[in-house]
Chain A
């Protein structure tokens, strides 16, 4: 039966080559799409993770608190596994003054590691290396009409700190979100504490090594270990700290399945057309098969085999090509999109260079769709073939 199915496919090489080509293209596009899609998804969440750290410690109910004093805390000693990085961050409101101009800004005090992470956002200048040096959002610098080397004064009265602190602008930041860029002042943690609240932070960022991007189990385990040491404080995983973005995560599978489903729906219609044409051309042959003793079920199986073989071979070719391109995407790629769309990506904070990712799940999903489409497309022609009356079918004139 398998040999008969295979040879039947070879009878109309042009049509089956075209149909197989479409199926191969669908599989190829699906794998490339999934690789790029996963790459973009990963980039987005990696960015989020990088900004937040794996775990974040804040004061309890911090979302309901506005007062800086209520939001700050003295970093406690924590039992962390070796290799873990803990960085304090102090964030507060300040008025930034330059000559006669002033703007409200969010002052962020970072430790050395945090400052280093600002490097890729650096548009001009360098990172702060000493006390009294600051990074300014480019839009904020424009509003204040200051540039590199100019002096600004941060004014934040009412705290436990000095309330006023002069900074020299040593670098300008290009942030994805322009509205944030117009309100960003980044300084060393020591300076921020001197200005706002000595010895205190608004959050602790904990970064672990060797944890997969979406691996939440070790984070939950560490959270449980830390809890007894965090009186009046709360610890969240990076996804809990970003609930809006975390809500996107379950959509990943749905969107992936939906897009690939649309690709395969189109491929399936072309396959259905090819199988139906093949049936119409071979009505007499199906009649002969039935007359020789093939039951309707076996006639149907023949049509299914033909469909599965056509799709199987095409899917393997498409998968091979798709995986080859994926290997290229693994090393990083720039989205081949118009500049205005790339701008939108940047608004979301996505890096311009993405890295493809294909897991077993994605490959199985694609091949599963291919097999599913092969079976579905063969269902109707197979049913029709199985119901043919042998005598009438053998008299059929196409």
Chain B
């Protein structure tokens, strides 16, 4: 059974009497352990698709299945709980809570799940170590570089051991070296732990590291590659 399955997903935004079709019938299947990049020009619908797959937004038409659960049938609160339990999210910017340390940020989702403090700190610390941030666990986001902040965000997603990590242009705000280093870390985690990743990117240099590339244009899937 696939981890993710989108069937005929359409998304239409309506505002000021204007309709904008962001997704035009997207079909996508993601198997467990995939490390997939979603590529396409700006406005092609990459972020919209990721948001719908994360349950942050609902499709206008179509079905969205994640881990065997039909997300588009869930209520807002049920989708929030589903994300908390099963989906790790990494955003382009503003990923961390500024008042929490790196360790507390990495442990935050586990805290929301109600894990005991020692348990969540153990798991968050392990995630930070895997991303080379063990020595910066006590630092606040303002004391970390952009790349380190993104790695903390990935650590938060991984510490929760989700079914799926969705990352929306995680390297967009990083210089190419830092961006590449982050992708390499994510790739290593994918290979070592079998975590399923789907991330959107503009950066062609990162594509050498992925197992699968899904191309999106004008809200349609226009091609797939397995480099």
* Interface positions of A (Cβ within 8 A of B): 1, 3-4, 7-8, 10-11, 284-285, 288-298, 390-391, 394
Do B97 and A295 touch (CB < 8 A)? no
Q: Is the interface of A mostly helix, strand, loop or mixed?
A: helix
Contact bitstring B64-88, A, C-beta under 8 A = 1, else 0: 0000000000001100111111010
Task: Quote the shortest CB–CB distance from A397 to chain B (angstroms).
Answer: 11
Bound-state Cα–Cα, A141 to B94, Å: 87
Closest to A298 in B: B112
Interface size for chain B: under 10, 10 to 19, 20 to 34, or 35 or more residues?
20 to 34
Do B99 and A10 touch (CB < 8 A)? yes
Q: Is the interface of B mostly helix, strand, loop or mixed?
A: helix
Bound-state Cα–Cα, A299 to B68, Å: 27
Do A4 and B109 touch (CB < 8 A)? no
Do A288 and B56 touch (CB < 8 A)? no
CB neighbours (8 Å) of A298 from chain B are: 112
Closest to B109 in A: A292
* Chain B residues numbered 170-200 whose CB sits less than 8 Å from any CB in chain A: none
Do A291 and B77 touch (CB < 8 A)? no
Within the complex, which residue of B54, B80, B94, B99 is in contact with A284, where a contact is CB–CB below 8 Å?
A: B94
* Interface positions of B (Cβ within 8 A of A): 51, 54, 56-57, 76-77, 80-85, 87, 89, 91, 94-95, 97-100, 104, 108-109, 111-112, 156
Within the complex, which residue of A293, A296, A394 is in contact with B91, where a contact is CB–CB below 8 Å?
A: A394
Do B94 and A4 touch (CB < 8 A)? no
Closest to B76 in A: A296
Closest to B85 in A: A293
Bound-state Cα–Cα, A296 to B77, Å: 7
CB neighbours (8 Å) of B81 from chain A are: 293, 295
Supplied contacts A1-B111, A293-B112, A294-B112, 16 more A-B pairs, CB within 8 Å: A3-B104, A4-B99, A10-B99, A11-B98, A284-B94, A288-B91, A288-B97, A289-B97, A291-B54, A293-B80, A293-B81, A293-B83, A294-B84, A295-B76, A296-B80, A394-B94
Closest to B104 in A: A3
Bound-state Cα–Cα, A390 to B83, Å: 12
Bound-state Cα–Cα, A284 to B100, Å: 16
Closest to A288 in B: B94
Do B80 and A295 touch (CB < 8 A)? yes
Within the complex, which residue of B76, B83, B100 is in contact with A291, where a contact is CB–CB below 8 Å?
A: B83
Do B108 and A292 touch (CB < 8 A)? yes
Task: Quote the shortest CB–CB distance from B74 to chain A (angstroms).
Answer: 12
Within the complex, which residue of A285, A292, A295 is in contact with B77, where a contact is CB–CB below 8 Å?
A: A295
Bound-state Cα–Cα, A390 to B57, Å: 9
Task: Quote the shortest CB–CB distance from B226 to chain A (angstroms).
Answer: 30
Do A391 and B112 touch (CB < 8 A)? no
Do A294 and B51 touch (CB < 8 A)? no
CB neighbours (8 Å) of A288 from chain B are: 91, 94-95, 97
CB neighbours (8 Å) of A394 from chain B are: 91, 94
Bound-state Cα–Cα, A11 to B112, Å: 22
CB neighbours (8 Å) of B51 from chain A are: 391
Task: Quote the shortest CB–CB distance from A5 to chain B (angstroms).
Answer: 10
CB neighbours (8 Å) of B57 from chain A are: 391
Bound-state Cα–Cα, A394 to B54, Å: 14
Bound-state Cα–Cα, A290 to B99, Å: 17
Do A294 and B94 touch (CB < 8 A)? no
Bound-state Cα–Cα, A394 to B56, Å: 11
Task: Quote the shortest CB–CB distance from A310 to chain B (angstroms).
Answer: 15
Task: Quote the shortest CB–CB distance from A169 to chain B (angstroms).
Answer: 80
- Known: A292-B89, A293-B83. Contact between A285 and B97, CB under 8 A? yes
13 contacts between A and B (CB under 8 A): A8-B99, A10-B99, A285-B97, A285-B98, A289-B97, A291-B54, A291-B91, A292-B84, A293-B82, A293-B83, A293-B85, A391-B51, A394-B94
